[in-house]
Amino acid sequence: MDTRLAELLQLLDLERLELNLFRGVSHDIGVPQVFGGQVLGQALVAASRTVEDRLVHSLHAYFLRRGDFDAPIVYQVERTRDGGSFTSRRVVAIQHGQPILTMSSSFQAPEPGSEHQASMPDVPPPEDLADVGELSAKVLEQVPEKVRRFFEHQRPFEFRHVRPPDYRKPEKREPVKHVWFRVVDRLPDDQALHRCLLAYVSDYHLLDTANLPHGQPWFELQMASIDHALWFHRELRMDEWLLYSIDSPSRSGARGFARGSLFTRDGALVASVAQEGLIRERPGGWQGTRPPGAAAQGGAP
């Protein structure tokens, strides 16, 4: 397996301390503090390890504080309910004696039913697009050093924008974004693992969509995730291309709101996402926040 993906799977493989208590570590992906998707993915792993024969179908989380790279994160799971068809769990992520994230999640036993779904947007296939990591050296020279670290980081995901942004001089455009992505190598046939990985990567690309109509350089903004919701509709594979179709209906009160739909290549809608985050306009605002596509862990300061 590709070493980048193996490291991510190891990151999600939490240590069990007690029946409902787990511990995880953090990885530096080139942002100033713990990546919010990491904490979200680890929290879902913790909840999933207390559930048998049911898959997560929804989660709702609040980011409360910034995570510390140098300290472990403890995940405390509350077994809220075990019903005939549905199971509920609540997870608190704790660092230095304080909660940094709370998450509620619901799991369902397999059950058939009637179906319908929204249509997939008509966009070019991923093979016709460049990976976001293929920025030229000339472009990298023109962004701040701390931002450059993010682009130079070797990620376990491929991201291919249908309409690549200009990170140096962004143009004002409609708040809509389409991004193809997948992990860089093959994964085992474990649907719970694929859903935890989707929770991890779903924190990319959402919040900066709310900045597109304003044409502001993201390294002059202070941005951080506040809350995050994710619904799983159908089975999915993270080692096959998924289209992340994102729009932002509103930005106001120093907050941006974005929602996303995730489709397989053949058009199946597998998941939906919604997120609200802090967007403060201040020169040099990226100091202590996040670069494009990677939301910072922690609530608004």
Catalytic one of 33, 42, 225, 297: 225
Q: Give the C-alpha separation, 261 to 255, whole Å.
A: 21
Strand partners, 107: 56, 87
CA dist 5 and 178 (Å) reads 23
Q: Determine which one of 105, 202, 261, 275 is catalytic.
A: 275
Cα separation, 242 vs 263, in Å, equals: 6
Helix axes 3-12, 191-201, angle to 10 degrees: 100
Name every residue whose Cβ is closer than 8 Å to that of residue 290 and which is 6 or more positions away in sequence: 31, 32, 223, 224, 296
| SS3 state at 253 | coil
- Residues 59/41, Cβ–Cβ less than 8 Å: no
Tell me if residue 248 is catalytic: no
Catalytic site residue from 26, 203, 222, 245: 203
Active site residue 166: no
For the record, the structure tokens of 184 come out as 């860089």
Instruction: Report yes or no: 219 and 150 within 8 Å, Cβ to Cβ.
Output: no
The answer to whether 225 is a known catalytic residue is yes
Total residue count of the chain as it appears in this document: 301
The residue type at 216 = Q
- Catalytic positions: 203, 225, 275
